Structure 1
Amino acid sequence: MAYDQSAMLKLLRPAMTRILTPLGRALVQRGIGPNAVTAIGTLGTVICALVFYPMGQLWWGSLAITIFVLFDLLDGVVARMGGGGGTTWGAFLDSTLDRLADAAIFSGLIIYFFVQRDLLMAAVALFCLVAGALVSYVKARAEGLGLTCDVGLAERPERLVVGLVAAGLSGLGVPYILPLGMWLLAAASAITVVQRVVHVHRQIGAR
């Protein structure tokens, strides 16, 4: 069900699927479908990001968000095991709610930086939010035009890993890791946008 099929996700999916299969089977037996799993994961991510991060609880917030992010894999497990909802609507819902979850995570970090009166890092986090949305939009628009756009340095899984790890380690007291992670994400997201735009332009120019 996941929309972004990055190299990282392709490597992690088999192992995570094996781990999540028992839980997926239990959900199917209780009549819970993949769309419900997607919605629960997104709701949990939004609440945790907008509650824990502004409070400065970066470690616990990142840990809780990571658990709910795993629902992005669990919904696919449920769909394959007969939970229903493995449809075009399910794929659309999954992709749309992914954008909402991402926005909540970076909005929580923006608020955190404002509370800390670190306006520079708040601006960097805002750039990460906007650039991340643009990365996804460029791909969706290109595919809507019948083109391919599976390129880029930092797709959604990579952005989530960097952001959550940096925030979590910062919550444990590792110095400078969160600003470093945000600057890295900002640069990687900007590069990815350029890579995708160039990739699409080359395809159109070849037609």
Structure 2
Amino acid sequence: MSLDPHREGAKNAMFCLVHWTRMEQKALNRRVFVNLQVQTRFVLLLSLTSDFAQRSLMEKTAKAMPIKKTLTEYLRLWFKWFLDPVGGFFNRLGITPNMMTMLGLIGNTVGAYFLARGEMLTGGLFVLLMTPIDALDGTMARLRGESSDFGAFVDSVTDRYSELIIYGGILYYFLSLGELLGGLLVFGAAAGSVLVSYVKARAEALGYEAKVGLLTRVERYLVLAPSLVFNQLFIGLGIIAIFANFTALQRIWHVRRQTHAKMEKQEI
């Protein structure tokens, strides 16, 4: 049986066309696969580059929380010319920094006694006199080369005792007169003063800084002492009650900013 040469040629041509089509499809698939690989790698590279650029930008633009000096620290620097010679003099007399700390506590207690009796001028002068005494203990320890964490701890605790003893004397005076408003002002001033110190101590225990605020201890004494000397208790206590608590809120807000900045940095 003879084959039709035309039909046989058509079959061969169709076979070649199908084979060529399949080869082209395979080549096209390979090109598409390669293109997809290239595009995927490019996208990954672009993503990594963008992420790196974003991190670099955030690190460059991130603002560190500034550590601000308090008025106490500025006053120590300004009056260093006075505190160093006086502190050295007491050191040569054999008076230790802890003895000076206790002297300040005793002096404020005596002042509180006069305040409780209503002798505001005498009590105010004692409070005013004990203010530089409080700065001398740290100066004396530094000059001796004996500055220690425990010494700073004792100094801070006695400062709180001194302040509360003074408020206690004023409170006793107001209660003896039946002055309810005066008693409330004393409570507000004492609460604000304690909270200012507590917020700072708690923040530092957690690794944050909290030295900001309008009314730190020195400012409170600069308000309280003149108000005692000039017998303007309501004004002085009112200022302290308002702004000491405001200072505590300032410090809380300052710590909040630091915690949020820390969390954002960890997320990066």
Which range, TM-score by smaller chain?
A: 0.7 to 0.9
Separation (CA, whole Å) in 1 of partners of 2:73 and 2:205: 23
- Residues 29-108 of structure 1: pairs in structure 2 closer than 5 A: 29-49=92-112, 51-82=113-144, 85-108=146-169
Matched, 1:128 2:183: no
**Cα displacement (A) at 1:81:** 2.5
Aligned twin of 1:149 = 210
- Residues 101-120 of structure 1: pairs in structure 2 closer than 5 A: 101-120=162-181
Matched, 1:189 2:244: yes
Which of the residues 189, 198, 215 maps onto 1:137? 198
Number of aligned residue pairs: 195
**Cα displacement (A) at 1:6:** 5.7
Matched, 1:19 2:74: no
**Cα displacement (A) at 1:116:** 2.3
Superposed CA offset, 1:129-170 (max 9, x none): 111101100010000000111211111111111111111111
> Does the C-alpha gap of structure 1 residues 103 and 6 become closer, same or farther in structure 2, counting only changes over 3 Å?
farther
Query: Of the two, which has the highest radius of gyration?
Result: 2
What is the percentage of aligned positions where both structures have the same residue?
Answer: 34
Gaps of 5+ in 1: 171-176
Q: Which has the higher contact order (CA 8 A, sep 6+)?
A: 1
**Cα displacement (A) at 1:108:** 1.1
Q: Is the 8 A contact 1:138 1:196 kept in 2?
A: yes
Matched, 1:202 2:264: no
Separation (CA, whole Å) in 1 of partners of 2:91 and 2:222: 28
Whichever residue aligns with residue 135 of structure 1, its letter is: V
Q: Is the 8 A contact 2:70 2:212 kept in 1?
A: no
- Residues 158-197 of structure 1: pairs in structure 2 closer than 5 A: 158-170=219-231, 177-197=232-252
Whichever residue aligns with residue 121 of structure 1, its letter is: G
Separation (CA, whole Å) in 1 of partners of 2:69 and 2:180: 32
Q: Which has the higher helix share?
A: 2
Q: Is the 8 A contact 1:37 1:74 kept in 2?
A: yes
Matched, 1:8 2:71: yes
User: Taking structure 2 as the reference length, what is the TM-score of the superposition?
Assistant: 0.68
What's the secondary structure of 2:124's corresponding residue? helix
Aligned twin of 1:174 = none
Whichever residue aligns with residue 94 of structure 1, its letter is: D
User: Taking structure 1 as the reference length, what is the TM-score of the superposition?
Assistant: 0.87
> Does the C-alpha gap of structure 1 residues 85 and 112 become closer, same or farther in structure 2, counting only changes over 3 Å?
farther
